[in-house]
């Protein structure tokens, strides 16, 4: 059971974040608050180990039969809908209600809130039960905020999304047309090149024939030299004909050389055209994920309409109560490559809020920052996501005052 008289008391409106974060972490270590987690199957292990390495005491208890007896004894509750089923939802409701009645803080993680109507409805209902904190990624907070603002605003958001989709699709079509036009141009050039090649082959053949004819004629002239004068005249005439043919061949050879030179000169131009079309085709990808910065306004409006603290995780973890906004800028991008880091930091928020429930806003920001610092230090030793998972837990366990105070990076955004 948590003794609230030991809760962190030195918070002010504008806290010194480093010392505050250390006060929160060291209080979690000394009080070891019992945190009940109703969470998804994927996150159970990492979440429990995160809480343990921070000094809290995890209990992954979700049976409806145990909740009335157990939940009031926990210092805080963490509800995560990651692998939601119709059977588990009543347990989540019951635990949220029991925590509320016992005056214990509880935290909601609306995993993939927008993935289905069932999930969105469940999340909306749970938000309506007034969790102390809601923590999600950008897409989850956007889905939840849009679902909570009523049909007209949701309709507007859908229309805006539709407009954007139409624009992107038109742009894509334009790129496709450009690319197809280039393909046609390229094919035409190619067929012209083939025609020239065929012409060249024909001329080569004629040249060979002419060479043979000239050789024959020369041989004949030689022969005529020793033959009668009468036949010499005839042979001369044939030789003259061969001469004309050779001149004609020399002329066609020169013409062919000119065509070749002209094509060679234009080669860089063809290359430029191909390169430009390639670059345009590559620029057609459409990014559909949301950054945490995209969801700050949605988080503020959700915080206002629900009365909860709302946190959006990402490169910057934003925390808002509807008026104030702060951003925790710790963590490393590789944390996204470990499943359930988000779920785990939500549980850590529950532990921090458990020991300082009167300052849930500050406790949420410091929990996010501390988890990020553990990720940063863990990353120095990690080779990839699997080893980061291990080193993150080790680093969280080993954090000391100097490191925390020095590395906490929380700034005011409003
Ligand atoms: N680009 C980033 N740079 C630094 N830290 C990040 C980045 N992206 C996420 N994080 C950190 O990773 C943790 C998890 O955040 P994320 O937004 O990925 O949660 P999530 O999508 O709910 O995760 P999950 O569903 O796997 O539990 C947070 O502590 C967050 O600060
Ligand atoms: C991968 C996954 N699917 C449902 S819950 C969960 C863990 C991250 O939220």
**Taking a C-beta distance cutoff of 8 angstroms, is the pair 340, 330 a contact?**
no
Residue 158 has a pLDDT of 63
Which structure tokens are listed for 245? 């043919």
Q: Which ligand 2 atom sits closest to the C-alpha of 340?
A: 8
Ligand 1 nearest-atom number relative to CA 328: 31
Q: Which atom belonging to ligand 2 lies closest to the Cα atom of 41?
A: 5
Q: Measured in angstroms, how far is the CA atom of residue 42 from the centroid of ligand 2? A: 6
Q: In 3D, which of 139, 108, 138, 137 has the Cα closest to residue 124?
A: 108
Question: Which of 84, 140, 314 maximizes ligand 1 atoms within 8 Å of its Cβ, making it the mutation to test the pocket?
Answer: 314
Distance 332 CA to ligand 1 centre (A): 8
Q: Tell me the three state secondary structure of residue 79.
A: strand
- So what's the pLDDT on residue 7? 41
How far apart, in whole angstroms, are the C-alpha atoms of residue 189 and residue 176? Answer: 20
- Residues found in the chain: 414
Per-residue exposure over 265-280, b if at least 16 CB sit within 10 Å of its own CB, e if not: eeeeeeeeeeeebeee
Name the residue among 308, 402, 407 with its Cα closest to residue 364: 308
Is the reported ipTM for this assembly greater than 0.95? yes
* Residue to probe by mutation, ligand 1, list 341, 344, 349, 369, most atoms within 8 Å of CB: 341
pLDDT, mean of each 10-residue run, the chain (414 residues)? 38 70 98 98 98 98 98 98 98 98 98 95 97 97 84 59 73 81 81 84 87 82 76 71 73 72 70 51 38 95 97 97 97 97 98 98 98 98 98 98 97 91
Encoded tokens for 170: 């038109």
Q: Which residues line ligand 2 (CB under 6 A)?
A: 40, 42-43, 82-83, 111, 339-340, 342-343
Task: Give the CB-side neighbour count of residue 245, counting CA atoms within 13 A.
Answer: 18
**DSSP, res 294:** G
Output the CA 345–ligand 2 centroid distance in Å.
14
Give residues (CB < 6 A) around ligand 1.
Answer: 111, 137, 313-315, 317, 331-333, 335-336, 339-343, 345, 368, 371-372
pLDDT of residue 91: 98
Residue 312 pairs with which residues in a beta bridge? 136, 318
Secondary structure of 59-107 as H, E, C letters: ECCCCCCCHHHHHHHCCEEEEECCCCCCCCHHHHHHHHHHHHHHCCCEE
Residue 58, pLDDT score: 98
What is the distance between the alpha carbons of residues 79 and 134, in angstroms, rounded to a whole number?
10
Do residues 217 and 238 touch, judged by C-beta distance below 8 A? Answer: yes
């Amino acid at each position: 059971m948590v003794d609230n008289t030991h809760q962190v008391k030195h918070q002010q409106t504008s806290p010194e974040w480093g010392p505050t974060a250390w006060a929160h972490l060291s209080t979690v270590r000394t009080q070891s608050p019992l945190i009940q987690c109703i969470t998804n199957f994927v996150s159970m292990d990492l979440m429990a180990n995160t809480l343990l390495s921070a000094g809290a005491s995890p209990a992954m208890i979700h049976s409806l039969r145990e909740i009335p007896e157990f939940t009031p004894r926990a210092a805080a509750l963490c509800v995560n809908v990651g692998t939601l089923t119709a059977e588990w939802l009543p347990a989540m409701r019951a635990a949220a209600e029991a925590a509320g009645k016992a005056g214990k803080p509880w935290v909601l993680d609306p995993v993939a809130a927008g993935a289905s109507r069932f999930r969105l409805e469940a999340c909306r209902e749970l938000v309506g039960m007034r969790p102390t904190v809601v923590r999600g990624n950008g897409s989850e907070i956007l889905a939840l905020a849009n679902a909570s603002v009523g049909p007209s605003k949701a309709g507007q958001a859908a229309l805006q999304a539709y407009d954007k989709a139409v624009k992107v699709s038109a742009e894509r079509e334009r790129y496709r047309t450009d690319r197809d036009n280039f393909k046609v141009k390229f094919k035409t050039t190619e067929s012209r090149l083939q025609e020239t090649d065929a012409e060249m082959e024909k001329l080569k053949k004629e040249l060979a024939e002419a060479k043979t004819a000239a050789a024959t004629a020369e041989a004949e002239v030689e022969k005529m030299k020793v033959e009668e004068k009468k036949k010499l005249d005839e042979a001369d005439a044939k030789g003259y004909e061969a001469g004309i043919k050779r001149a004609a061949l020399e002329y066609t050879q020169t013409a062919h050389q000119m065509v070749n030179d002209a094509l060679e000169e234009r080669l860089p131009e063809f290359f430029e055209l191909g390169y430009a079309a390639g670059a345009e085709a590559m620029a057609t990808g459409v990014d559909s994920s949301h950054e945490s910065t995209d969801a700050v306004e949605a988080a503020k409006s959700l915080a206002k309409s629900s009365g909860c603290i709302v946190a959006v995780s990402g490169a910057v973890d934003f925390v808002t109560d509807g008026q104030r906004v702060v951003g925790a800028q710790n963590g490393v991008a590789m944390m996204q490559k470990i499943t359930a880091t988000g779920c785990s930091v939500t549980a850590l928020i529950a532990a921090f809020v458990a020991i300082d429930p009167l300052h849930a806003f500050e406790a949420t920001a410091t929990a996010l920052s501390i988890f990020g610092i553990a990720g940063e230090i863990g990353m120095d030793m990690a080779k990839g996501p699997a080893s980061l998972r291990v080193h993150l837990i080790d680093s969280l366990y080993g954090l000391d005052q100097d490191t925390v105070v020095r590395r906490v990076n929380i700034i005011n955004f409003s």
